[in-house]
Amino acid sequence: MNLKDVFQTKTVFSLEVFPPKSELATQKLLNSLTGIQSIKPDFISITLGAAQMDIQKTVNLATAIQEQLSIPAMAHLTGLYLSKQQAADTLSILKESQINNILALRGDQVSNCPPVGDFKYAAELVNFIKCHGDFDIAGACYPQKHPESSDFVADTLHLKEKVNQGASHLITQMIFDNEAFWQFKERLQLANINVPVEVGIMPCTNHQQIQRITALSGIQMPKKFTNIMARYADNKEAMRDAGIAYAIDQIVDLVASGVDGIHLYTMNNPENAQRIWEATHTLFEAQNKQLAYPL
Ligand code: FAD
């Protein structure tokens, strides 16, 4: 079944991992993903490092996830450092490896490294992929707007273009404030953007990591969240428990309110994903029953 059809039948639950640097670390990640197979995520997405250097690592991990774990993989692909020829070659490799799901992204500019210029925005890459095979294409979106966008209107119109070009579902940047997501959904409705949207949730278990991410992305944090971060910054175990509890709290609210799906940024810690799934899977099941047998 195509991923876009899966959204018609259930509340999707997916994970995101990044390709580890070494073979040993990759095997360790695959082993821990094997250890949490009771989750049965609808797909696992695999990130791509900046400047496109590691595409083979992304493809290899995606292939291993599909072949060894029998879980559909989604390869991230960024356009800024890709020529049209390289994009066509990469799509051939993905096709050969039977990876049909792609998250098409623009990517970020690396300092002192000028972009190729063939794909200026993600929508252009979406269009290119659409014309080069039967891929299921997802796009990124930003409930608190992309940091480079001047305003919400421009950001929403550019997102609509990405959907018009063929992105059949969207995944949000990580959010820590569900209210920002509901406001975003209202803007999507006004703009007549009707594809499923998965909400990106990151269980925050490391204070420095979250500080770095928020400085780069410009995500605004609710006070409740920053208080927790400040309180447990020096206590690893308490920080992990609080971060997981906070993510569960967000997911309970989102799933109960009928969200299309949850995309968990695992930061290569599948054990945290397991804890979150154990605490919330009955909610997904209840929602799926309601989708299958609406009143
Ligand atoms: P776009 O959709 O192209 O948008 C980028 C900016 O350009 C926005 O401000 C948009 O409003 C604006 N824009 C779009 N079209 C136009 C236009 N026609 N005219 C003027 N302005 C326009 N990065 C990686 O390097 N590797 C990854 O694996 C990765 N995974 C990600 C996964 C998710 C779920 C998300 C949310 C982000 C991910 N990123 C990743 C980060 C992403 O590459 C950056 O956020 C990047 O800055 C924007 O990518 P985009 O695809 O959203 O770009």
**Residue-range domain boundaries for the chain:** 3-292
Compute the mean pLDDT over every residue in the chain, rounded to the nearest whole number. 94
Helix axes 223-232, 236-256, angle to 10 degrees: 160
Mode of pairing for the β-strands spanning 12-17 and 101-105: unpaired
Contact 200, 263 (CB under 8 A): yes
* Banded pLDDT at 251 (limits 50, 70, 90): very high
Of residues 33 and 294, the one with the higher pLDDT is 33
Q: Provide mean pLDDT across the span 45-50.
A: 92
Of residues 206 and 137, the one with the higher pLDDT is 137
291 Cβ neighbours under 8 A, 6+ residues apart: 9, 10, 11
Q: DSSP per residue over 107-131, as a string?
A: --PBTTB---SS-SSHHHHHHHHHT
Q: Per the structure block, which two tokens stand in for 210? A: 């979250």
Query: pLDDT digits over 268-284, tens only?
Result: 999 999 999 999 999 99
Q: What was the pLDDT predicted at 17?
A: 98
Centroid of ligand 1 to alpha carbon of 293 (angstroms): 37
Angle, vertex CA 179, rays to CA 175 and CA 182, nearest 5: 95
Question: Is there an atom of ligand 1 within 6 Å of 36 CB?
Answer: no
* Distance, CA of 63 to CA of 102 (rounded, Å): 13
Question: Is there an atom of ligand 1 within 6 Å of 149 CB?
Answer: yes
Centroid of ligand 1 to alpha carbon of 219 (angstroms): 14
Centroid of ligand 1 to alpha carbon of 106 (angstroms): 5
Question: Is there an atom of ligand 1 within 6 Å of 187 CB?
Answer: no
Q: What was the pLDDT predicted at 84?
A: 97
Centroid of ligand 1 to alpha carbon of 142 (angstroms): 9
Q: Provide mean pLDDT across the span 204-208.
A: 86
Q: Provide mean pLDDT across the span 42-57.
A: 87
Nearest partner of 253 among 153, 158, 180, judged by Cα: 180
Q: What was the pLDDT predicted at 128?
A: 98
Fold of 3-292: TIM Barrel (3.20.20)
Phi, psi of 113 (to 5 degrees): -140, 90
* Banded pLDDT at 146 (limits 50, 70, 90): very high
The structure's pTM equals 0.97
Query: pLDDT digits over 181-197, tens only?
Result: 999 999 999 999 999 99
Question: Is there an atom of ligand 1 within 6 Å of 165 CB?
Answer: no
pLDDT at position 4 over 90: no
Q: What was the pLDDT predicted at 210?
A: 80
Of residues 37 and 31, the one with the higher pLDDT is 31
Q: What was the pLDDT predicted at 72?
A: 96
**Residue 194 CB burial class (10 angstroms; 0-12, 13-18, ≥19):** exposed
- Helices (runs of H) and strands (runs of E) counted in the chain: 11, 8
Q: Provide mean pLDDT across the span 110-121.
A: 93
Question: Is there an atom of ligand 1 within 6 Å of 155 CB?
Answer: yes
pLDDT at position 52 over 70: no
Q: Which of 12, 15, 17, 146 to mutate to test the pocket of ligand 1 (most atoms within 8 A of CB)?
A: 146
